Amino acid sequence: MKLDASKGIKDPGAAEVLGRLAEAGYEAYLVGGCVRDAVLGRSIKDIDIATSALPEQVMEIFHRTVPTGLQHGTVTVLMPQGMYEVTTFRKEAAYEGFRRPASVAYISDLTEDLKRRDFTMNAMAMNVAGVLQDPYGGQADLAAGLLRCVGIAEERFGEDALRMLRCIRFASTYDLEIEASTWQALLANAPLLRHIAMERVRSELQRMVEGPAPARAVRLLLASGLLANLKKQLPLPYEAWLAWDDALDVVSALEEQHDRWAMLLMLLEVPSDVVRAALQDLTFSRADGTAVAEVLALREAIAAQVAVEDPAPLERVWKLGAVRRGEAAARALLRLLRELPQVEGKRGRLARFLEETAPALLRRGEAWLKEVPCFSLKELAISGQDVAVALDRQPGPWMGRLLQDLLERAALGEIPNEREALIDAAQAAK
């Protein structure tokens, strides 16, 4: 891997913060991910600064600051170019709950400050001129394509168990091999992940899935056993991914994160209500969980209909499914089916669906969707009030059932999506 840190980080705001700290007589460096990405020649996102100045001294130097993390020595400096987190050099006492340090002590030594960080590639610092400070060999490890813990790996994972998931994420995102002792320490400490809140787990998993190499992340997760050590055990048969190893490689071809999750979870072949509950346990938002689960529910509904002895025509099943599960779910399912590879030699319900039903959907599904005049009650040409007036009835549960029936009939083209025709149909149904 060819590296070049000589150009430094060209950020005027960061340069001014570093310069003003230096003018006041303090050491100041860019640290962490921004330095790593600069060394790799990648675009820079968040910029963090470490300094020998104490938090109160930082607040004296800069007029506009926010005490965002004084207990950990962090002050956010507000500059015209943006916000910059400035943290005092520190070392940390024993960790609590396998996640956070019980306390911190301010120090004046950059090398000691970098020593507390997780991986060597994140334990580099850079001054405003682009001169690199790399006491733990992060640049050499990156050049060799290695991900290595700073110091003793078991200690780093024992301090903060979330680092094990970060290890998987970094290895997949940056295409690195996990150094042998780091990997062995991860395997030995995997049970500690049970101490980590599910929202932290979900955040790391989302970043893996939306990253450049979700398939590699999944394979590393399977090999590590981390998914079997979550705080909440999810009823998902992760080993089923092994039977669809070739399909994992196409996940990265999907642009939307919801599509990627739907693909991965569809390959597990579990009911959509189980998936919905698992995503809830992972603290996915209701909207995100629904967007994924509805794609799986739509495939289930279609598969169930075409499997009966006297199946309804696929066109009808598809259109009704799109109305009941949403147009977005239908279009997402088509995107997934376009990317899935051939299924020769595979068994199970999903393989049968891909062999027997998917080809027809891929040929006609998009055209059938274009024929549907309305997918939701909002698109129906009448409202509940229109129906109540036309039928001279008080609103009640009957109204929702009737409107849904009218929506589905209009979607299938059995009645026009026009106000008078729908009112006539409603009166006839009475």
pLDDT range class, residue 342, cuts 50, 70, 90: low
Number of domains in the chain: 4
Q: Are both 261 and 336 inside the same structural domain?
A: yes
For the cut 90, the answer to whether the pLDDT of residue 122 exceeds it is: yes
The residue out of 89, 114, 144 marking a domain boundary is 144
Q: Round the average pLDDT of the chain to a whole number and report it.
A: 92
CATH of the domain at 220: 1.10.110.30
**CATH number for position 396:** 1.10.246.80
The pLDDT of 406-422, averaged and rounded, is 96
Quote the domain boundaries for residue 416.
376-430
Lowest mean pLDDT among 69-83, 166-180, 200-214, 275-289: 69-83
- pLDDT above 90 (res 374): yes
Say whether both 114 and 249 belong to one domain: no
Same structural domain, 247 and 187: no
295 and 196 housed in the same domain? no
Measure CA 295 to chain center. 17
Do 22 and 132 fall into the same domain? yes
**Contacts of residue 235, Cβ cutoff 8 Å, sequence gap at least 6:** 270, 274, 277, 278
- Lowest-pLDDT range of 86-90, 106-110, 338-342: 338-342
* More confident call, 405 vs 45: 405
**2 and 38 belong to one structural domain:** yes
Higher pLDDT, 120 or 129: 120
104 and 8 in a common domain = yes
Question: Tell me, what's the pLDDT at 70?
Answer: 82
Evaluate whether 152 touches 159 at the Cβ level (below 8 Å): no
pLDDT score, position 101: 60
Neighbours of 91 (CB within 10 A): 14
| 346 — pLDDT class (breaks 50, 70, 90) | confident
Q: What is the pLDDT of residue 341?
A: 73
For CA atoms 404, 405, 410, 412, the dihedral sign is positive
Question: Residues of 95-128 as b/e, b for ≥16 C-beta within 10 angstroms?
Answer: eeebbebeebeeeeebeebbebbbbbbbbbbbbb
Among 129, 144, 159, the domain boundary falls at 144
For residue 1, the model assigns a pLDDT of 42
Residue 281 has pLDDT above 50, yes or no: yes
**Is beta strand 104-106 parallel, antiparallel or unpaired with respect to 90-92?**
antiparallel
158 lies in the same domain as 208 = yes
At residue 95, the pLDDT reads 59
Q: What is the DSSP letter of 119?
A: B
Cβ burial of 36 (10 Å; 0-12, 13-18, 19+) is buried
Same domain, 246 and 225: no
Both 387 and 427 in one domain: the answer is yes
Has residue 88 got a pLDDT over 80? yes
Give tens-digit pLDDT for 354-368: 988 999 999 999 999
pLDDT at residue 211 greater than cutoff 80: yes
Amino acid letter, residue 403 = L
Q: What is the pLDDT of residue 19?
A: 94
Residue 3: the pLDDT is 47
pLDDT digits (tens, 9 = 90+) for 391-403: 999 999 999 999 9
Residue type, 228: A
Single-letter amino acid, residue 100:
R
Cβ atoms within 10 A of the Cβ of 298, count? 23
pLDDT band for position 43 (50/70/90)?
confident
Beta bridge partners of 29: 50
Q: What is the pLDDT of residues 57-79, one digit of tens each?
A: 999 999 999 998 888 899 999 99
Distance CA 77, CA 66 (A): 7
φ, ψ of residue 149 in degrees (nearest 5)? -70, 150
Pick from 144, 162, 181: which residue ends a domain? Answer: 144
Q: Which two tokens stand for residue 185?
A: 């320490």
The answer to whether residue 161 scores a pLDDT higher than 80 is yes
Residue 306 has pLDDT above 80, yes or no: no
In a shared domain, residues 254 and 229: no
Q: What percent of the chain has pLDDT over 70?
A: 93
CATH code assigned at 71 = 3.30.460.10
Shared domain check, 124 and 6? yes
Percentage, residues of the chain above pLDDT 90: 83
- pTM of the entire structure? 0.90
Q: In this predicted structure, what is the pLDDT of residue 2?
A: 44
pLDDT at 128: 83
Which two three-digit tokens encode residue 254? Answer: 């999907």
